[in-house]
């Protein structure tokens, strides 16, 4: 029997949406307390604490992976995989090149106003390590920073029991990253935030991690910038009777296998499709290596929602604001203008979500937990800062002086008004 339930009643749908909302709001006070202790220890003790925590959690006392070791393990990577990573890197770079911004200014009579675009100077990239090793994370987080012009990129990747993943190293080598550290968890976030004797502090930390990493990033925000607080993966498929059920089921499972908290959801106006997808899930689930994880995901946070029409589906989708949204209908392009909230949109039956995870080009670091209502995918714009530029001649100054004085006076800020008044006199 498929663990994916079919819901049709409005009360059931509302209950499920509230469940998804609660899923993304949880924060453990116990974990936060542990994380704060780690952050404080690294802030005060530097490398000494970093080594102690690395030995405790990862079973070794190393901090740095020198270029020679990166090369050694990268050379062990299968050549076909390296070729695939190289092709993906080129596509990701080409897409992100389109996001570059330039400084600009304009002139009025005696006034020049504008904006200076500057890259961040130093960025830290966190990459999950050990058994959960993702070379694609290296590509997706480093390439936008490089395109933006960031000069210093420090990459941290935990190596439990000293295990170094050849494919992560291959991605690092492919992008020419020289500063690589084999530390992880909250202690890595602390080192990047506060700096140690070995690791120089950064301006921004990006990259996914476990609950300890996410909690640490949330706590240090303000001391440094962060990309986002990433939650469990999500996919929402909107489909009608024309969608192949085996495609829909496969795409739902592609996210369900991430972890037990992943949320795979289908919204359709076709009862026949709902039943067919449910049957396909049973068939395909049995063949997965990670079937136990996927099954729990389908059971806990998965659902097939049957609605009266696709317009209702769009309304629910915009409420959920999913990380990944697939539109598999007869005329999917017509629905694009109705999409208000989504991290990434995959249009048509030949655009499965994994294309976006690896090789299409757009970034796979996406807003989760409904944050797509205001947040955007990771991009070049995350690695730049905008500085306003103002330049007035005396003539230009006099055109605004009285206006500024008037507003400053009514706000009760006499020194503001005087800074203008003294020049007028």
Confidence of residue 226 (pLDDT cuts 50, 70, 90): very high
Give the long-range contacts of residues 5-14, CB within 8 A, separation 24 or more: 5/302, 5/303, 5/304, 6/274, 6/275, 6/278, 6/303, 6/304, 6/306, 7/303, 7/304, 7/305, 7/306, 8/305, 8/306, 13/305, 13/316
**Where do runs of H (alpha helix) occur along 66-110?**
67-74, 79-97
Which DSSP state fits 64?
B
Q: How far apart are the two ends of the chain, measured CA to CA in Å?
A: 85
Confidence of residue 1 (pLDDT cuts 50, 70, 90): low
pLDDT, the chain, mean: 96
Q: Judge whether residue 108 has pLDDT over 70.
A: yes
pLDDT in tens, 350-405: 999 999 999 999 999 999 999 999 999 999 999 999 999 999 999 999 999 999 99
In percent, the amount of the chain with pLDDT more than 90 equals 93
Average pLDDT over residues 84-94: 98
Average pLDDT over residues 230-251: 96
Confidence of residue 104 (pLDDT cuts 50, 70, 90): very high
Res 4: pLDDT: 87
Q: Judge whether residue 26 has pLDDT over 70.
A: no
Catalytic choice (234, 323, 326, 353): 323
Could you give the domains of the chain? 6-24+232-351 (3.40.50.1980), 29-226 (3.40.50.1980), 393-424 (1.20.5.1300)
| CA distances in angstroms from 276 to 83, 183, 332, listed in the order given | 38, 46, 21
Res 367: pLDDT: 96
Residues in CB range of 23: below 8 A, 6 or more apart: 231, 232, 261, 263, 301, 369
Q: Judge whether residue 335 has pLDDT over 70.
A: yes
Rounded distance between C-alpha atoms, residue 323 and residue 213, angstroms: 20
pLDDT in tens, 263-304: 999 999 999 999 999 999 999 999 999 999 999 999 999 999
Token pair in block for residue 287: 């063949």
Token pair in block for residue 69: 């070791």
Res 24: pLDDT: 67
From 231, 232, 244, 260, select the one nearest 326 (Cα to Cα).
244
State CA 106 to chain mean position distance.
35
Res 133: pLDDT: 80
- Is 353 known to be catalytic? no
Q: Judge whether residue 132 has pLDDT over 70.
A: no
Q: Judge whether residue 118 has pLDDT over 90.
A: yes
- Is 27 known to be catalytic? no
| CA distances in angstroms from 22 to 18, 162, 252, listed in the order given | 6, 37, 21
Per-residue H/E/C for 120-167: CCEEEEECCCCCCCCHHHHHHHHHHHHHHCCCEEEEECCCHHHCCCHH
Residues in CB range of 182: below 8 A, 6 or more apart: 54, 58, 60, 62, 63, 64, 65, 129, 156, 157, 158, 159, 164
Res 231: pLDDT: 86
Task: Give the pairing type, strands 263-268 and 179-181.
Answer: unpaired
Tell me the pTM. Answer: 0.94
Rounded distance between C-alpha atoms, residue 192 and residue 407, angstroms: 43
Which DSSP state fits 9?
S
Res 27: pLDDT: 67
Rounded distance between C-alpha atoms, residue 351 and residue 366, angstroms: 17
Token pair in block for residue 278: 């449910």
pLDDT in tens, 173-209: 999 999 999 999 999 999 999 999 999 999 999 999 9
Q: Judge whether residue 327 has pLDDT over 80.
A: yes
Average the pLDDT over each of 25-39, 96-110, 307-321, 402-416 and give the range with the smallest value: 25-39
Average pLDDT over residues 88-113: 97
Rounded distance between C-alpha atoms, residue 18 and residue 41, angstroms: 38
Confidence of residue 130 (pLDDT cuts 50, 70, 90): low
Sheet holding 263-268, edge to edge: 6-7, 303-306, 263-268, 234-239, 324-328, 344-347
In percent, the amount of the chain with pLDDT more than 70 equals 98
Confidence of residue 425 (pLDDT cuts 50, 70, 90): confident
Q: Judge whether residue 128 has pLDDT over 80.
A: yes
Q: Judge whether residue 230 has pLDDT over 90.
A: no
Catalytic choice (96, 258, 324, 364): 324
Task: Give the pairing type, strands 324-328 and 344-347.
Answer: parallel
pLDDT in tens, 36-57: 999 999 999 999 999 999 999 9
Token pair in block for residue 411: 């706000």
């Amino acid at each position: 029997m498929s663990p994916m339930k079919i819901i049709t009643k409005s009360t059931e749908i509302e209950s499920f949406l509230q469940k998804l909302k609660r899923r993304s709001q949880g924060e453990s006070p116990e974990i936060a307390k542990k994380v704060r202790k780690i952050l404080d220890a690294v802030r005060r003790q530097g490398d000494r604490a970093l080594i102690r925590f690395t030995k405790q959690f990862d079973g070794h006392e190393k901090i740095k992976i020198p270029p020679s070791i990166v090369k050694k393990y990268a050379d062990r990577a299968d050549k076909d995989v390296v070729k695939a990573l190289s092709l993906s890197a080129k596509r990701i770079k080409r897409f992100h090149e389109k996001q570059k911004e330039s400084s600009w200014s304009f002139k009025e009579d005696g006034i020049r106003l504008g904006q200076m675009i500057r890259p961040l100077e130093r960025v830290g990239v966190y990459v999950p390590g050990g058994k959960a090793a993702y070379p694609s994370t290296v590509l997706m987080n480093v390439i936008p920073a490089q395109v933006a012009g960031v000069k210093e990129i420090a990459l941290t990747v935990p190596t439990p029991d000293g295990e170094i993943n050849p494919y992560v190293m291959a991605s690092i080598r492919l992008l020419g990253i020289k500063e690589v550290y084999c530390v992880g968890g909250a202690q890595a976030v602390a080192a990047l935030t506060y700096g140690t004797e070995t690791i120089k502090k950064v301006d921004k930390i990006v990259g996914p991690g476990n609950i300890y990493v996410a909690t640490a990033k949330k706590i240090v925000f303000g001391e440094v910038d962060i990309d986002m607080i990433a939650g469990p993966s999500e996919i929402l498929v909107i489909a009608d009777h024309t969608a192949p059920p085996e495609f829909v089921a496969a795409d739902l499972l592609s996210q369900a296998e991430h972890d037990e908290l992943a949320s795979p959801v289908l919204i359709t106006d076709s009862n026949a499709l709902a039943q067919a997808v449910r049957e396909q899930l049973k068939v395909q689930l049995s063949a997965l290596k990670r079937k136990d994880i996927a099954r729990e995901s389908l059971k806990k946070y998965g659902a097939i929602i049957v609605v009266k029409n696709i317009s209702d589906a769009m309304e629910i989708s915009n409420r959920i604001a999913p990380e990944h949204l697939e539109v598999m209908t007869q005329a999917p392009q017509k629905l694009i203008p109705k999409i208000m909230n989504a991290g990434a949109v995959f249009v048509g039956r030949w655009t499965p979500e994994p294309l976006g995870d690896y090789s299409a080009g757009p970034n796979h670091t996406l807003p989760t937990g409904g944050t797509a209502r205001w947040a955007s995918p990771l991009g070049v714009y995350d690695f730049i800062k905008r500085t306003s530029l103002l330049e007035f001649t005396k003539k230009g100054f006099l055109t605004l002086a009285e206006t500024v004085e008037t507003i400053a006076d009514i706000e009760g800020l006499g020194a503001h008004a005087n800074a203008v008044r003294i020049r007028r006199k």
